[in-house]
């Protein structure tokens, strides 16, 4: 009688119990348990596939820090910021601005990327959910700081001037990937995660920085 | 058969305070579905209430009344043990009557 | 005497002058609170309560039996106070279950309904609508009582910790976790106040309000649907009915809300 042996290696690949037996840390065990629950509790629907449950390093570190009640280590924070900044895609035509009226529409629009949204449809910026932006819109959230008078407060009177450049660059970078400046920022990564197109981001830049924009009145 | 109304009738001095919750979609007829087709109007058109068999309230409702409508009214000269009956009729011809005893 | 009186008068006038603009201008939050207070009387949740009570007593399903012997954790047929002790561990299913998944268990084991079909039925349709009505009624029989979820069983403790980890889990296209919106005091999304679900008071307010009637869409929502919709807006995939993630989050919220009185079934925007 031939005995079929399953090597420990193969058994380890398919069994979560192996995590404990191979001496994995408590953190790794907890992570494995979490992943098991997530795969069993969700299903793909519409444009939201199970890959939406995956965490990149930034999310993993920030989530663990939140759960433990601490902030990420200075080292980890610096690493997240640096890699985020390096990956920023600057405007391909060197132009940072668009139409602030379209920017306002985008800021008001909270749609896109959910499993009930039509795949391939344009996404909104979701901005008013968290921020005050123009004075006339009273339906604004307080999860993020007020952006009212954003350009004015930063002394931007001419977007093409040399003095305005650092603010222009910072604003584009922040919209593209807020983690480039704040490692665990709650704000979505609009460029990095392909939520908004370059054209859409330019409209938001105008909304915030154009001296004619209602934001700066 | 439509879902029952919830009627609460309480005596307060010589008056009766009546509160009614009706279960009805109250589709105005102005809305469109996901494909752009209009959703047909389906709403209550007539409401009447009686106290011990005598009509005390009659109303005509239009498409402006919201889903699961709430109605509150006061009946003069009543007491605990009296019967309050409420009836609604909608534009599809459906109707519902429910009764409550004044507490 | 004149010198003695004058400063006091000035102070009084100053106080009136400072408070007058505040009195004259109602904040958006105040107006919404007033609107909600007006809606309290005549909460359409009452209609769902009445329906749920009927469903509990009605002989239904392939086995032609009512739900009156359903054990919600306090013994067969005991409904009063059951909801404020849920989710909890059940020996017969060897699982921690919340109200909605437990109702489904009873519908399956007592009445003979097919649980998997019901799990896959969209919210608000068919037997899912009945579960919502039943949950509304059961919750109403705990109204005003304080949360006291048991944490004695190992599984109850495991789910609490799992729920806590899930609460802080950032993912999806927008990197949102539950904590992104519900992890701080005094925040709102647009004009909607966000309860801080990590504090006793906040969780009591938030967790204790569901099942709730949502005026904006005229629908009755239980916690399962509330969580499913949160996850949808977090751009996560579809959170399935009665699965471990949702139940774990409910354990986390319910234990955090220990001692706080519930307001469910309530009325919401």
* Helix, strand, or coil (residue C187): strand
- Residue A178: pLDDT over 50: yes
- Residue A2: pLDDT over 80: no
Contacts of residue A41, Cβ cutoff 8 Å, sequence gap at least 6:
C239, C240, C243, C244, C245, C246
In the numeric block, the tokens 């802080």 are attached to C168
Residue length of chain A:
217
Distances (CA, A) of C61 to B2, C106, C243: 21, 11, 23
Give me the residue from C41, C50, C51 closest to B19, CB to CB: C41
Is the distance from CB of A168 to CB of A152 less than 8 angstroms? no
Q: Average of pLDDT values for A74-103?
A: 97
Alpha-carbon torsion (A23, A26, A28, A33), positive or negative: positive
Query: What does the alpha-carbon distance between residue C15 and residue A179 come to, in Å, rounded to a whole number?
Result: 46
Judged by CB atoms closer than 8 Å, whether chains meet at C42 and B3 is answered as no
Judged by CB atoms closer than 8 Å, whether chains meet at B67 and C218 is answered as yes
Split at pLDDT 50, 70, 90, the class of B62 is: very high
Judged by CB atoms closer than 8 Å, whether chains meet at B6 and C41 is answered as no
- Residue A10: pLDDT over 60: no
CATH topology of domain A100-216: Cytochrome Bc1 Complex; Chain D, domain 2 (1.10.760)
Query: What does the alpha-carbon distance between residue B60 and residue B43 come to, in Å, rounded to a whole number?
Result: 11
The pair phi, psi for residue A138, each rounded to 5°, is -90, -15
- Residue C202's nearest CA partner among C179, C185, C187, C218 is C185
Q: For residue range A179-212, what is the model confidence (pLDDT) as tens digits? A: 999 999 999 999 999 999 999 999 999 999 999 9
Query: What does the alpha-carbon distance between residue C132 and residue B5 come to, in Å, rounded to a whole number?
Result: 18
B4 touches chain C (CB under 8 A): yes
* Helix, strand, or coil (residue B42): strand
Which chain A residues are Cβ-neighbours of C244 within 8 angstroms?
A: 37, 40-41
Give me the residue from C171, C232, C239 closest to A41, CB to CB: C239
Query: Dihedral angle at the C-alpha atoms of B6, B10, B15, B19, nearest 10 degrees?
Result: -20
CATH topology of domain C43-143+151-268: Cytochrome Bc1 Complex; Chain D, domain 2 (1.10.760)
Which helix (H) or strand (E) segment holds residue C126: the answer is: helix C126-140
Query: What does the alpha-carbon distance between residue C213 and residue C45 come to, in Å, rounded to a whole number?
Result: 5
Which chain B residues are Cβ-neighbours of C42 within 8 angstroms?
A: 19, 21, 70, 72
In the numeric block, the tokens 């309050």 are attached to B84
- Residue A1: pLDDT over 90: no
The two three-digit tokens of residue B32, written as one number: 């469109």
B3 touches chain C (CB under 8 A): yes
Strand partners, A56: none
Which chain C residues are Cβ-neighbours of A59 within 8 angstroms?
A: 170-171, 175
Percent of chain C with pLDDT over 90: 81
What does DSSP assign to residue A178? G
Strand-strand pairing, B54-60 and B95-101:
unpaired
Check residue C18 and give its pLDDT: 42
Give me the residue from B4, B19, B23 closest to C42, CB to CB: B19
pLDDT along chain C (269 residues), means of 10: 46 45 62 77 89 96 98 98 98 98 98 98 97 98 97 98 98 98 97 96 97 93 98 98 98 98 93
Q: What is the mean pLDDT of chain A?
A: 91
Of all residues in chain C, the one with the smallest CA distance to A144 is C187
Q: Is A203 left (phi over 0), alpha (psi -120 to 50) or beta?
A: alpha
Q: Does any domain span residue B92?
A: yes
Q: Which residue has the higher pLDDT, A27 or B60?
A: B60
Which chain B residues are Cβ-neighbours of C41 within 8 angstroms?
A: 19, 70, 72
Split at pLDDT 50, 70, 90, the class of A29 is: confident
- Specify the number of domains making up chain B: 1
Is the distance from CB of C133 to CB of C51 less than 8 angstroms? yes
Q: Does any domain span residue B57?
A: yes
Percent of chain A with pLDDT over 70: 89
- Residue A17: pLDDT over 70: no
Distances (CA, A) of C67 to B12, C63, C90, C121: 38, 11, 17, 20
Strand partners, C267: C213
Check residue B35 and give its pLDDT: 86
Q: What is the CATH number of the domain that holds B20?
A: 2.60.40.10
Secondary structure (DSSP) of A183-207: TT-SS--TTTTTSS-HHHHHHHHHH
Q: From the CB of residue C37, how many other CB atoms can be counted at a distance below 10 Å?
A: 10
Contacts A–C by Cβ distance under 8 A? 128
Check residue A22 and give its pLDDT: 53
Straight-line distance from the first to the last Cα atom of chain B, in angstroms, rounded to the nearest whole number: 27
C partners (3+ CB pairs within 8 A) are A, B
Beta strand ranges found along B5-102 (DSSP E) = 6-12, 15-21, 44-51, 54-60, 70-75, 83-90, 95-101
Whole-prediction pTM = 0.87
Distances (CA, A) of B67 to A191, C44, C218: 42, 9, 7
Beta strand ranges found along chain A (DSSP E) = 42-43
B21 touches chain C (CB under 8 A): yes
Q: Does any domain span residue B81?
A: yes
Q: From the CB of residue C68, how many other CB atoms can be counted at a distance below 10 Å?
A: 14
Split at pLDDT 50, 70, 90, the class of B1 is: low
The two three-digit tokens of residue A79, written as one number: 């690493």
Judged by CB atoms closer than 8 Å, whether chains meet at A43 and C173 is answered as no
Check residue A125 and give its pLDDT: 97
Check residue C14 and give its pLDDT: 47
The two three-digit tokens of residue C85, written as one number: 């002790």
The minimum CA-CA distance between C125 and chain B, rounded to whole Å, is: 15
Q: Does any domain span residue B53?
A: yes
* Helix, strand, or coil (residue C99): helix
- Domain assignment of residue B81, given as a range: 6-28+40-101
Which chain B residues are Cβ-neighbours of C51 within 8 angstroms?
A: 3
Residue length of chain B:
103
The two three-digit tokens of residue B29, written as one number: 């007829």
The pair phi, psi for residue C214, each rounded to 5°, is -95, 110
Task: Point out the residues of C that are catalytic.
Answer: 230
What does DSSP assign to residue C262? P
Q: How many CA atoms lie within 13 A of A23 on its CB side?
A: 0
Check residue A200 and give its pLDDT: 98
Check residue A139 and give its pLDDT: 96
């Amino acid at each position: 009688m031939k005995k079929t042996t399953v090597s420990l290696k193969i058994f380890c690949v398919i069994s979560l119990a192996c995590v404990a037996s191979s001496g994995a840390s408590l953190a790794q065990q907890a992570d494995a348990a979490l992943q098991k629950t997530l795969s069993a509790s969700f299903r793909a629907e519409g444009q939201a596939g199970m890959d939406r449950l995956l965490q990149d390093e930034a999310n993993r570190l920030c989530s663990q820090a939140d759960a433990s009640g601490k902030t990420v280590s200075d080292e980890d924070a610096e690493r997240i910021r640096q890699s985020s900044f390096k990956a920023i895609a600057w405007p391909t035509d060197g132009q940072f601005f668009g139409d602030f009226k379209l920017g306002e529409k985008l800021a008001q629009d909270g749609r896109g990327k959910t499993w009930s949204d039509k795949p391939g449809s344009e996404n909104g910026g979701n901005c008013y959910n968290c921020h005050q932006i123009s004075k006339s819109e009273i339906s604004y959230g307080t999860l993020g700081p007020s952006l009212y008078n954003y350009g004015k407060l930063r002394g931007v009177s001419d977007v093409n001037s040399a003095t305005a450049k650092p603010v222009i660059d910072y604003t584009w970078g922040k919209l593209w990937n807020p983690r480039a400046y704040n490692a665990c920022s709650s704000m979505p990564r609009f460029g990095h995660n392909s939520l908004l197109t370059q054209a859409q981001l330019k409209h938001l830049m105008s909304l915030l920085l154009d001296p004619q924009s209602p934001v700066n009145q | 058969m439509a879902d029952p109304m919830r009627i609460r009738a309480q005596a307060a001095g010589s008056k009766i305070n009546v509160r009614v919750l009706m279960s009805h979609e109250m589709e105005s007829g102005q809305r469109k579905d996901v494909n752009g087709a209009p959703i047909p109007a389906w709403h209550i058109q007539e409401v009447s209430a009686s106290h011990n068999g005598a009509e005390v309230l009659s109303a005509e409702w239009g498409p402006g009344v919201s889903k699961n409508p709430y109605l509150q009214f006061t009946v003069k000269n009543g007491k605990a043990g009296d019967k309050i009956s409420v009836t609604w009729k909608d534009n599809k011809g459906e109707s519902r009557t429910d009764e409550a005893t004044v507490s | 005497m004149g010198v003695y009186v004058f400063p006091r008068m000035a102070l009084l006038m100053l106080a009136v002058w400072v408070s007058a603009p505040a009195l004259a201008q109602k904040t958006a939050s105040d107006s919404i609170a007033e609107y909600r207070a007006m809606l309290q009387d005549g909460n359409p949740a009452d209609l769902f309560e009445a329906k749920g009570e009927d469903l509990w007593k009605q002989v239904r399903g392939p086995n032609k039996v009512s739900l009156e012997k359903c054990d919600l954790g306090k013994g067969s047929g005991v409904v009063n106070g059951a909801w404020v002790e849920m989710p909890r561990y059940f020996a017969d299913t060897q699982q921690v279950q919340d109200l909605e998944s437990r109702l489904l268990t009873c519908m399956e084991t007592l009445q003979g309904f097919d649980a998997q079909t019901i799990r896959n039925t969209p919210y608000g349709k068919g037997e899912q609508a009945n579960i919502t009505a039943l949950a509304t009624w059961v919750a109403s029989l705990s109204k005003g009582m304080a949360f006291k979820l048991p944490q004695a069983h190992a599984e109850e403790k495991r789910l609490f910790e799992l729920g806590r980890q899930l609460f802080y889990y950032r993912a999806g296209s927008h990197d949102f976790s539950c904590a992104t919106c519900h992890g701080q005091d005094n925040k709102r999304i647009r004009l909607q106040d966000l309860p801080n679900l990590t504090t006793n008071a906040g969780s009591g307010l938030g967790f204790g309000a569901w099942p709730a009637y949502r005026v904006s869409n005229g629908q009755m929502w239980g916690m399962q649907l509330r969580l499913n919709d949160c996850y949808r807006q977090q751009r996560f995939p579809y959170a399935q009915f009665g699965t471990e993630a949702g139940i774990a989050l409910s354990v986390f919220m319910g234990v955090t809300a220990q001692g706080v009185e519930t307001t469910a079934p309530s009325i919401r925007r």
